[in-house]
Amino acid sequence: MSQADSTLEGPVTGLTIGPAFSIPTKKLAMWLFIIADTMTFAACLVAYGFLRNGSADWPRPFHSITNVAAMTLILLTSSLTMLVGLRAARAGDKAAAFRWTMITAAAGIIFAMLHVREWLGLIGEGMTLFKNPWGTGLFGASFFSITGLHLTHVTGGVIALVVVGVRYKGGRYNADDIEVLGLYWHFVDLVWMFVVPLVYLLNLAH
């Protein structure tokens, strides 16, 4: 190897080989997306808190915690089933990994259905984006925005779970793809941990 080669290859090799933080590119991309999405949800929740704090007649329309408790249980359990699916994928058990991924997707669908049922109940009581029978109209806008954004994430996650699960079963994707998708699904669960107390539990009618 000439001196020119060594001076060229040395630094260039050091710069190009090895992804940032020694994390595979897909996983790093998902983490960066999650960080960005955290900002989106945080901005929505802070704006919600700002409005709630600044409104004298903020409504407290929730009389029961049954529905939101069931939704929380289902979403938390779906995170566990996602982990079991990943564990199966890592062990090379394709059938079990596919099965658990589909169970996770099914839990996501049940969560979404409960969410829609709750929305329809509130709409039936006269709540819209701009007005409600209980107090400031800002409540509807902030409630539907935050829960709608979360529901959109759940819906997207369910679609991704089905697509990735099927492609994994078909051999086009591997366990790494299940892991990357799992990161997203756990993030959706993590966001719900903040939405429940701030949007639901602080607005319980006592």
Partner 1 sequence: MTTAEERKSNGIGKDLGIYACLLVLAGLQFVIAYQKIGASQMFGRMLTVACVEAGLAALYFMHLWTEKRGFLLFVAIFTIAVLLGLQFGWTDSTRMVVGAPFSK
Please give the residue ranges that form the binding site for partner 1 (CB under 8 A).
21-24, 27, 31, 35, 38-39, 42-43, 46, 49-51, 53-56, 65, 69, 72-73, 76-77, 79-80, 83-84, 87, 90, 175-176, 179, 182-183, 186-187, 189-190, 193-194, 196-198, 201-202, 204, 206
* Residue with Cβ nearer partner 1 (42 or 113): 42
Find the shortest distance in angstroms from Cβ 122 to partner 1. Answer: 18
Closest to 127 measured CA to CA, from 55, 47, 62, 206: 62
68: which residues sit within 8 A by CB, 6+ positions away?
62, 118, 196, 200, 201
First CA to last CA distance, the chain: 79
C-alpha distances (whole Å) from 1 to each of 10, 13, 16 are: 11, 15, 20
* Residue with Cβ nearer partner 1 (11 or 49): 49
Find the shortest distance in angstroms from Cβ 175 to partner 1. Answer: 8
Find the shortest distance in angstroms from Cβ 68 to partner 1. Answer: 9
Helix/strand/coil for 134: coil
Find the shortest distance in angstroms from Cβ 74 to partner 1. Answer: 12
